[in-house]
Amino acid sequence: MAQLSGIGSQFVKAAMKAPFLEREEEHQLAVRWKENKDQAALHALTEAHMRLVISVAVKFRNYGLPLSDLVQEGHVGLLEAAARFDPDREVRFSTYATWWIRASIQDFVLRNWSIVRGGTSSAQKALFFNLRRLRARLSQSNEGTYAVFKAIADAVGVSPTDVAWMNLRLSSGDISLNAPLSPNGENETQERVDYIVDGQPRADELVEADMDASKRSVWLNVALKTLNPRELRIVQERRLKEEGVTLEVLGEQMGISKERVRQIEVRALQKLKIALLAQNAELETQ
């Protein structure tokens, strides 16, 4: 009972005192719940399998989560199993419920073991819950680290890189960014977050980019005034919209061939280049 200290004693006693169900009795309770939504039948069915929930939950006690929470999540899985169970199939409810109980507890562990979410695929889940066991078994051999990771990857169905990454995550816990950089050293007032590189542009770079954009906008507006109405329309429809129209569509709208539209566009772009260079000779080197 020592390993069950995280669960209320009254709950454990009640679970252990719950009677075992014979196959026929279990079947009748499942039928009553499925066909008539008999709450008494559901209670009797789930109560008789709470020791199964505790048994499964205990296997996950080494992930640093309260055993009472694991049992509670396992109970959720038990209720889900009861809701989905088909009594007409030749299978015991305990066999069916074990899968749902384990799945519910595993999802709870993955959600709460770390604030950094890991993979949610079936292969990633299998890797998370089997890595320690496989690593301990394979570490007894004389093979190197990569060989061990490769063997685990082949067994679970992931890449060696995934194994290495999961091994790193399981080997170290979460560290707060607001934790002191050196609790016992000279930098007690500095936090880890102070040393994270900001990937955003600096303020001066933002101002410079905004000024450059404004200049280019003025240059472009002046250059566009050198075009005639047909050239201006083609440039606006083809170059100045997020989704420019095709030569064929624009030709149909203007009543000319798509080849003629292409020719006018080439000429208009040449005129724009000349006008832009006339305003700022530095553009010629860009």
> Please, which residues bridge with residue 72 across strands?
none
Q: State residue 168's pLDDT score.
A: 62
Q: How far apart are CA 184 and CA 173, in angstroms?
A: 20
Q: How far apart are CA 239 and CA 110, in angstroms?
A: 50
Q: Which CATH fold topology does 2-112 show?
A: Four Helix Bundle (Hemerythrin (Met), subunit A) (1.20.120)
Q: State residue 1's pLDDT score.
A: 47
Q: State residue 127's pLDDT score.
A: 67
Task: Look up the pTM and report it.
Answer: 0.49
Annotate 26-52 with b (16+ C-beta within 10 A) or e (fewer).
bebbbebbbeeeeeebbebbbbbbbbb
CB count, 10 Å around CB of 56? 23
Residue whose C-alpha is closest to residue 52's, from 87, 84, 95 = 95
pLDDT along the chain (286 residues), means of 10: 56 73 87 88 88 88 83 91 88 90 85 59 66 61 66 74 68 62 63 72 77 83 89 89 87 91 92 84 54
Instruction: Enter the tokens of residue 152.
Output: 């685990």
Report pLDDT digits (tens) over 222-236. 888 899 999 999 998
Contacts of 42 (CB under 8 A, 6+ apart): 29, 33, 82
CA 198 to chain CA centroid, nearest Å = 23
Q: State residue 263's pLDDT score.
A: 93
Report pLDDT digits (tens) over 186-236. 556 677 667 677 777 777 777 777 777 888 888 888 888 899 999 999 998
Report pLDDT digits (tens) over 113-123. 654 455 556 66
Q: What is the pLDDT of the chain when averaged over all its residues?
A: 78
- Which CATH number describes the domain made up of 203-285? 1.10.10.10
